[in-house]
Amino acid sequence: STVKLKDDGSNWVAFEEKITNKFLDKGLGRHLQGTARAPSHPVEHKGKFYWSTDAGFLHPLSDDDLEKLENKFEEYEQKEAKMHTIIYESISDSTFNEIKGEATAALIW
């Protein structure tokens, strides 16, 4: 079962160790450290997709490259969601309300 953080933070040391271990066990170390970066979204132009850095729309992405990019983005989002879930399941509603608007799981942590 998931350890719960007490609202007064009195069990923070044990909580932090147990939850950190859970993050690492799930392969979320980079998300925990804040070093995971979401891949850039492709840019659509005239029915084709391009890297966001291709400002002149000179090199459309192949279907395979687009699929790989979308898969990387989905993987990033899934790992962020896993980390959010672990955190949200281990805190009270009042603590949740304080942290829910952060952009990344690392910022919540």
pLDDT in tens, 27-68: 999 999 999 999 988 999 999 999 999 999 999 999 999 999
Q: Is residue 6 in some structural domain?
A: no
Q: Is residue 55 in some structural domain?
A: yes
pLDDT for res 2: 74
Q: How many CB atoms lie within 10 A of CB 5?
A: 19
**pLDDT exceeds 90 at position 89:** yes
Q: What are the angstrom distances between the C-alpha of 80 and each of 9, 48, 56, 59, 86? A: 24, 28, 32, 30, 10
Quick one: average pLDDT of 88-96? 93
Contact 80, 31 (CB under 8 A): yes
Q: Is residue 31 in some structural domain?
A: yes
Q: Is residue 84 in some structural domain?
A: yes
**pLDDT exceeds 70 at position 1:** no
pLDDT for res 103: 87
Using a pLDDT cut of 90, give the percent of the chain over it: 83
Q: Is residue 16 in some structural domain?
A: no
Contacts of 87 (CB under 8 A, 6+ apart): 19, 99, 105, 108, 109
Angle in degrees, CA 31, 36, 106, rounded to 5:
35
Q: Is residue 12 in some structural domain?
A: no
pLDDT for res 59: 96
pLDDT for res 54: 94
Q: Which domain holds residue 57?
A: 27-103
